[in-house]
Amino acid sequence: MPNPLRSYDDHLSQESLYGDWRWCGTLSTRAPSTAATTTSGFTTTQRFPETVTVPTMGAPVTRAYCVFGAVQIATASTFVAAIETTLGTLTVSGNSFASGSAMPSRKIATGESLSTAATECYLVATVALSATTPVVTITYTNAEGVGSRTATLTLPTGVAVNSAFDITPHLQSGDTGVSSVQNISISTGTAGTLRVYGLLPLYIAPVPAAQGTSYMNPSTLARDIYGVESGDVIGFYRHGSTSSERAFVHLVFAPES
């Protein structure tokens, strides 16, 4: 099972047989987002509306690893590229909930495939809200598979599109992640759409200065690395700023077979 992360030799060999996927794209939030508060995630976060879908892989390739990332953003922030799962959607008008998917399974070091739970989980306004300090209640199943857990966030007034609020600090006591969402409801409002996304981070880049950039080789990072599979959706986020922003991102994925 050649893994491109194991050594430079394995990467070169896998690339010669199956090819790396070298990709870049541009992202943009066209308007400022809304800052987080202590009742809505603490960390100000913005989701770029663009996503990229991992292409179909050919046998015997089963997954690929993000082995390089680079990003350019004009303002200081922290950039995240992650496998993104839509866990559920709330249309504010009518308080109408639509189910999403559960977090996916992924292979771990032993070779087993286990269900994941999102330790980064965001409530995102995909359509702007107009309500005054609405209270959002999310019913979820935690990382241990225990259902009927609830997270409650009080959002700022008039949440702008692409604003993302970290659910994790508001999980029920003792919970560390979300594996699926069973319901989302809101206390007030008639406009907007909220969606819960679960993330498995692939690439995290500090962009410390204006017009700065960051690049890194994820194999040098001491953190979890998830393989991407055909059809996975990769989403893009940034922490620490509400300004409208443009970004250039360059990712490389190396195949495992």
Residues that bind another protein (CB under 8 A): 4, 8-9, 11-13, 15-28, 30-31, 49-52, 55-61, 64, 67-68, 70, 72-74, 209-215, 217, 219, 244, 246-248, 250, 252-255, 257
Q: CA 68: distance to chain centroid?
A: 18
Helix (H, G, I), strand (E, B) or coil at 101: coil
C-beta of 228: minimal distance to another protein in Å?
9
φ, ψ at 160 (rounded to 5°)? -80, 155
C-beta of 128: minimal distance to another protein in Å?
13
C-alpha angle 160/242/103, rounded to 5°?
A: 70
Q: Taking Cα atoms as reference points, which of 40, 242, 35 lies closest to residue 134?
A: 40
Query: Cβ(232)–Cβ(54) under 8 Å?
Result: yes
Q: Taking Cα atoms as reference points, which of 194, 182, 200, 185 lies closest to residue 121?
A: 200
Query: Cβ(213)–Cβ(70) under 8 Å?
Result: yes
C-beta of 192: minimal distance to another protein in Å?
17
Query: Cβ(77)–Cβ(209) under 8 Å?
Result: no
C-beta of 254: minimal distance to another protein in Å?
7
Query: Cβ(133)–Cβ(157) under 8 Å?
Result: yes
Give whichever of 118 and 161 is closer to another protein, judged by the CB atom.
161
Give whichever of 173 and 210 is closer to another protein, judged by the CB atom.
210
Give whichever of 102 and 127 is closer to another protein, judged by the CB atom.
127
Give whichever of 150 and 248 is closer to another protein, judged by the CB atom.
248
| Structure-token pair, residue 144 | 């241990």
C-beta of 196: minimal distance to another protein in Å?
19
C-beta of 76: minimal distance to another protein in Å?
12
Give whichever of 182 and 229 is closer to another protein, judged by the CB atom.
229
| Rounded Cα gap, residues 250 and 210, in angstroms | 19
Query: Cβ(212)–Cβ(79) under 8 Å?
Result: no
Give whichever of 49 and 169 is closer to another protein, judged by the CB atom.
49
